[in-house]
Amino acid sequence: MTKFSFAEQLNDFKITSEWLARRGWSEAAGGNMSIRIDALTKLHEDDHIKLPVEVPYLAGKAVLLTGSGTRAREIGENPEPHIGLFKISDDGLHYGWIAGNHNPSMELPAHFAIHNALERHRPEDKAILHTHPASLISLCHVPGFDNSKTISDNILSLQSEARLILPEGIGFVEHELPGSLELGLKSAEQLTRHHLVLWQYHGLLATGETLAGAFDKLEVFEKSARVYWQLRAAGIDPVGISEAETRKTLAAFGRLNRY
Ligand code: 2HA
Ligand code: ZN
């Protein structure tokens, strides 16, 4: 197997996967992750596979992506065999395998479409994390929790700092076929504004400067969702922090413009 040496990124995959497994958020081979690489020199090019979507902002760049069927608990032990390096052609229309695992995640179209949007709108976010936390999937089964505003307002109002960390709220994409380009394109659209997107009945997609940073945001949302379910289990219909109080908190931290 051709080797690659992105020690920092491999460690990010390793640590984040360990935590995903520990939390039980990526069951079996559920979930996938990628990191965009800017500087690619002296690497063999084999970029002949037609992309399902044009990704002009990724032209000449590369992506480290978890392989199909790879398990978080195994990536957490030893990431290298489970992660592949893929390069995008200079015309942004093709890609090719460079090194490592050569059988990419079924969500490759989503990862590429989202990296293309991130590179354009928020280039500092280089990492994409997708996983299946039960408390978040369960939210999609609450009547009326089928849009970004309702979910953001009801869930992020349950803990004082949640909205501070996620002032824009949570993006939402209605159910789409796993692995489909539609899922990727709709997520890419949401991610120009949000750092988290809930995939209806499926799971969450988070972006960050690193996978650990994406995991942080996911944790914040998941914690609020758990508060929601604990209250519901106790028979309490959550009221949440008022909008006026939320605005006051965001204003105090200079984040009201992102609300
Ligand atoms: O099983 O999570 O979305 C991998 C996935 C696809
Ligand atoms: Zn999934």
Domains along the chain with CATH numbers? 7-258 (3.40.225.10)
Alpha helices in 122-210 (DSSP H): 134-139, 148-155, 162-165, 181-190
> Could you tell me where the beta strands, DSSP code E, fall in 101-155?
127-131
User: Residue 72: nearest ligand to its CA?
Assistant: 1
The CB-side HSE value for 126 (13 A sphere, CA atoms) comes to 17
pLDDT tens readout for residues 49-89: 999 999 999 999 999 999 999 999 999 999 999 999 999 98
Ligand 1 center to 68 CA (angstroms): 8
Query: In the prediction, which pLDDT does 48 show?
Result: 82
Measured CA to CA, the distance from residue 86 to residue 97 in angstroms comes to: 5
Is the confidence at residue 1, as pLDDT, over 90?
A: no
Q: Is the pTM of this model over 0.85?
A: yes
Is the confidence at residue 42, as pLDDT, over 90?
A: no
User: Residue 106: nearest ligand to its CA?
Assistant: 1
Determine the atom of ligand 1 nearest the C-alpha atom of 68. Answer: 4
Residues 139, 225: contact at Cβ < 8 Å? yes
Ligand 1 center to 28 CA (angstroms): 10
Report angle CA 72, 78, 79 to the nearest 5 degrees. 65
Query: In the prediction, which pLDDT does 39 show?
Result: 64
Ligand 2 center to 204 CA (angstroms): 8
Measured CA to CA, the distance from residue 252 to residue 91 in angstroms comes to: 46
Q: Which residues contact 94 (CB under 8 A, 6 or more apart)?
A: 47, 48, 49, 50, 51, 88
The CB-side HSE value for 232 (13 A sphere, CA atoms) comes to 13
Pocket test for ligand 1, best of 73, 75, 105 (most atoms within 8 A of CB): 105
> How many other C-beta atoms can be found within 10 angstroms of the C-beta atom of residue 167?
19
Measured CA to CA, the distance from residue 19 to residue 22 in angstroms comes to: 5
pLDDT tens readout for residues 208-224: 999 999 999 999 999 99
Please report the DSSP string for 7-63 in residue order.
HHHHHHHHHHHHHHHHHT-S-TT--EEEEEE----S------EEPSS--GGGTT-EE
Determine the atom of ligand 1 nearest the C-alpha atom of 130. Answer: 2
Pocket test for ligand 1, best of 17, 25, 27, 32 (most atoms within 8 A of CB): 32
Determine the atom of ligand 1 nearest the C-alpha atom of 132. Answer: 2
Pocket test for ligand 1, best of 130, 181, 183 (most atoms within 8 A of CB): 130
Look at residues 138, 158, 135, 152 and name the one whose alpha carbon lies nearest to residue 241: 158
| Cross-strand pairs, 104 | 67
pLDDT band at 13 (very low <50, low <70, confident <90, very high): very high
Report angle CA 13, 87, 30 to the nearest 5 degrees. 40
Any residues with Cβ below 6 Å from ligand 1, and which? 29-32, 106-107, 130, 178
